[in-house]
């Protein structure tokens, strides 16, 4: 499959306009037959291509020990496990709500997988009413994320959540 994105990152688009274009790309890229992992990997690549963030990826919930485990991502090497309630990702999971941190140095208990990360946004994903994963976005810029990111990403993540199934009996889908 070959796919060309509908925008050029060098064009001066505001963030909301870029998200509108990305939503069109995401709807075309999403493959309901490919499973969650393949779609999540493409979603990460799409966000990096669109915004050039330092790190974009998913952590998936491992229920047995209440830990987040590294999933598909784009960026530098990352922490492989994060306990529930720890760091930005574990806290967003525990609270079951998006968590925007303008300056990670001001977040008590921040887990620094990379010292270059300066701001972070984490959004939980759900299946059958439970958090099953979190999307983690890291930027080298302080205060790089805003409410427009949450508002644009949640509908895009809902499409990805539709690929999450538990019918296979596996701990993780696919």
Instruction: Let me know if residue 3 belongs to a domain.
Output: no
How many domains does one find in the chain?
A: 1
In the chain, what percentage of residues exceed pLDDT 70? 86
pLDDT classification of 8: cutoffs 50, 70, 90: low
- 1/167: higher pLDDT: 1
Which pLDDT score is estimated for 7? 58
Whether the CB-CB separation of 164 and 173 falls below 8 Å is answered with: yes
Instruction: Let me know if residue 173 belongs to a domain.
Output: no
For residue 167, pLDDT beyond 60? no
Which pLDDT score is estimated for 124? 97
Compute the distance between CA of residue 47 and CA of residue 55 in angstroms, rounded to an integer. Answer: 10
For residue 31, pLDDT beyond 80? yes
Instruction: Let me know if residue 129 belongs to a domain.
Output: yes
Tens digits of per-residue pLDDT, 139-158?
Answer: 999 999 999 999 999 999 99
The CATH number covering residue 146 comes to 3.30.450.40
Which pLDDT score is estimated for 116? 75
Dihedral sign for Cα 55, 20, 145, 50, please.
positive
On the 0-12 / 13-18 / 19+ scale of CB atoms within 10 A, 167 is exposed
Instruction: Let me know if residue 2 belongs to a domain.
Output: no
For residue 130, pLDDT beyond 60? yes
**Domain span at 147:** 15-161
Which pLDDT score is estimated for 169? 38
pTM of the model: 0.89
For residue 108, pLDDT beyond 90? no
On the 0-12 / 13-18 / 19+ scale of CB atoms within 10 A, 108 is exposed
Instruction: Let me know if residue 169 belongs to a domain.
Output: no
Instruction: Let me know if residue 166 belongs to a domain.
Output: no
Instruction: Let me know if residue 172 belongs to a domain.
Output: no
Instruction: Let me know if residue 121 belongs to a domain.
Output: yes
């Amino acid at each position: 499959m070959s796919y060309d994105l509908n925008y050029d990152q060098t064009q001066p688009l505001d963030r909301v306009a870029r998200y509108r274009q990305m939503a069109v790309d995401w709807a075309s890229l999403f493959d309901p037959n490919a499973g969650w992992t393949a779609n999540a990997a493409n979603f990460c690549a799409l966000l990096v291509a669109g915004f050039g963030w330092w790190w974009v990826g998913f952590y998936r919930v491992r229920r047995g020990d209440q830990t987040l485990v590294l999933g598909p991502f784009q960026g530098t090497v990352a922490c492989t496990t994060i306990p529930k309630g720890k760091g930005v990702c574990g806290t967003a999971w525990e609270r079951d709500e998006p968590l925007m941190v303008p300056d990670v140095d001001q977040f008590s208990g921040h887990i620094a997988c990379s010292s270059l990360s300066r701001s972070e946004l984490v959004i939980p994903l759900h299946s059958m009413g439970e958090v099953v994963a979190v999307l983690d976005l890291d930027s080298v810029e302080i205060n790089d994320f805003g409410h427009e990111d949450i508002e644009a990403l949640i509908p895009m993540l809902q499409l990805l959540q539709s690929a999450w199934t538990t019918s296979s009996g596996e701990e993780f889908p696919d």
